[in-house]
Amino acid sequence: MLTAEQNDELTQVDAGTPMGEVLRRYWYPVAFTRELAEFPVKRVELLGEFFALWRSPSGRYGIVPEACPHRKASLAYGVVESDGLRCPYHGWVFDEAGACVEQPAERDDTRFGARVSAQAGVAEEMGGLVWAYVGPGPAPRLPRFDTYVMEGFRDIGWADLPCNYVQIMENAVDPHHVEWLHGRYFQFIGRHEGFTSPASFAKKHQKVGFTPFEWGIIKRRVLEGASEDNDDWKVGHPLVFPYNMRVGGGGVHQMQIRVPINRTTTRFMLYTVHRPDEGYEHVEQPVVPDYNIPVVDEKGRHVVNYVEGQDIMAWVTQGAITDRTTEHLGRSDIGVAMLRKMFREQMDRVARGEDPLGTIREEHERIDLPCEKDKFHAGAQFALDFCDMGSTRFSPMLDAIKKIHVSAAERVASGSASGSGS
């Protein structure tokens, strides 16, 4: 249980608040690469602020606050030019560093432009997404987590959810919910709708564990019929502080991304790479597909017949900002308590002028995160359950994705598998 003040502090995202200042030390995905290839400027909301994001003709990215410093017209309607973004109203131009490099209606000798700048962030592309950092400089490096840079077939489902991101992150350190929400509840829905939910999701938790590490918290579990020798315990998978969770197994690699758009809206993205450990054959993918996943039906009821729809139902029904003053945490909520403490510690670090957890300033190729290969002790079946019972079922690429896993398994069975895992 938290006090009203603690809950308020924990869930803030705005500039000038302790948590808002922590969140401004990280990079966030703010657009699909595809979008800016189709039209080179986009309005973006992040951490309760609006920005104009653009792609220059040479392929570089820039991000500035949406309101033009002149008289506040929207730069998201700007003209993209080779040396920057030109305001549609009176034609001022801002470069990628935010400098005002042209004021066509001002006399050249006033040097007015030198005194005006937009508070620019930085933006770059990785893995089919455009990422932005809008915090204080110098910007840390964009962390090149394995999922975003590995070889494989990419697929991104997403939805904007009407709730604060912290309750979604608390779910990432809540292993017990799986056997109930994706186990018992899924079975109940399946009985009524005439399908069978995956048996592995209903396995009882014998033991759970949490290990803080350099990127967040590793979550571990021992399910009935398994032991501490299984990947679910030995390897586990991490909450990646402050807004991701790395999951996967059976040749599926996924980052679950929860971008705080504003205090009560979270962009939930399922960034998935399909890459069987053995038997994978490269599939060309000129554009990474992105698609909306359903949240509610036409009657306004949550869509709960797929895994992430069940999670979404739980997160959203907790309330826009869940009331932690009247909750009752038990021993099984130890991961939730650990995460709140971690948030609190990062507020202190940032207040002291230090970098918070997971800030990387060194150049690097790739950051490998721990993640079980044999998820739920389910072997190769995990990938097919993942496709049929999770948000991937809404992918326009569903058939191609299943074929990747089935063909790889066939190649392994026939002994013609080439290459092994990345």
Residues that bind Fe ion (CB under 5 A): 311
Question: Which lies closer to ligand FES via its Cβ, residue 68 or residue 339?
Answer: 68
Choose the stretch contacting ligand FES; rule: CB under 6 A; options: 53-61, 90-98, 281-289, 390-398: 90-98
Provide the minimum distance between the beta carbon of 70 and ligand FES in the complex, in angstroms, as a whole number.
Answer: 3
Residues 6+ apart with CB under 8 A from 107: none
- Provide the CA 52 distance to its chain's centre, in angstroms: 20
Q: In this structure, what are the phi and psi dihedrals at residue 258, rounded to the nearest 5 degrees?
A: -130, 90
Contacted by 70, from ligand FES, Fe ion, none: CB < 5 to 8 Å by type: ligand FES
Question: Which lies closer to Fe ion via its Cβ, residue 231 or residue 311?
Answer: 311
The helix or strand, by DSSP H or E, that contains position 28, with its residue range, turns out to be strand 28-32
Q: In this structure, what are the phi and psi dihedrals at residue 57, rounded to the nearest 5 degrees?
A: -60, -25
Query: Does residue number 141 form part of the binding site for ligand FES (CB under 6 A)?
Result: no
Query: Does residue number 176 form part of the binding site for ligand FES (CB under 6 A)?
Result: no
What does the angle CA 192 – CA 248 – CA 346 come to, to the nearest 5 degrees? 110
Query: Does residue number 90 form part of the binding site for ligand FES (CB under 6 A)?
Result: yes
Choose the stretch contacting ligand FES; rule: CB under 6 A; options: 63-71, 168-176, 228-236, 348-356: 63-71
User: What is the rounded end-to-end Cα distance, in angstroms, of the chain?
Assistant: 43
- Look at the block and give the residue holding tokens 């044999």: 374
> Cβ distance 290 to 181 under 8 Å?
no
Query: Does residue number 70 form part of the binding site for ligand FES (CB under 6 A)?
Result: yes
Contacted by 40, from Fe ion, ligand FES, none: CB < 5 to 8 Å by type: none
Interface with ligand FES: number of residues (CB under 6 A): 9
Choose the stretch contacting ligand FES; rule: CB under 6 A; options: 30-38, 69-77, 106-114, 157-165: 69-77
Choose the stretch contacting ligand FES; rule: CB under 6 A; options: 82-90, 106-114, 125-133, 319-327: 82-90
Query: Does residue number 73 form part of the binding site for ligand FES (CB under 6 A)?
Result: yes
Question: Which lies closer to ligand FES via its Cβ, residue 93 or residue 409?
Answer: 93
> Cβ distance 177 to 171 under 8 Å?
yes
Choose the stretch contacting ligand FES; rule: CB under 6 A; options: 34-42, 66-74, 184-192, 414-422: 66-74
Query: Does residue number 68 form part of the binding site for ligand FES (CB under 6 A)?
Result: yes
> What tokens were used for 287?
């554009």
Question: Which lies closer to ligand FES via its Cβ, residue 91 or residue 190?
Answer: 91
SS3 313: helix
Question: Which lies closer to ligand FES via its Cβ, residue 107 or residue 331?
Answer: 107
Spatial separation of the C-alpha atoms in residues 265 and 158, rounded to whole Å: 13
Spatial separation of the C-alpha atoms in residues 254 and 247, rounded to whole Å: 5
Contacted by 311, from ligand FES, Fe ion, none: CB < 5 to 8 Å by type: Fe ion
Provide the minimum distance between the beta carbon of 202 and Fe ion in the complex, in angstroms, as a whole number.
Answer: 13
> Cβ distance 357 to 347 under 8 Å?
no
- One DSSP character per residue, 319-359 reads TTTT-TTS----GGGHHHHHHHHHHHHHHHHHHTTPPPTT-
SS3 6: helix
Provide the minimum distance between the beta carbon of 92 and ligand FES in the complex, in angstroms, as a whole number.
Answer: 4
Residues lying near ligand FES in the complex (CB under 6 A) are found at: 68, 70-71, 73, 87, 89-92
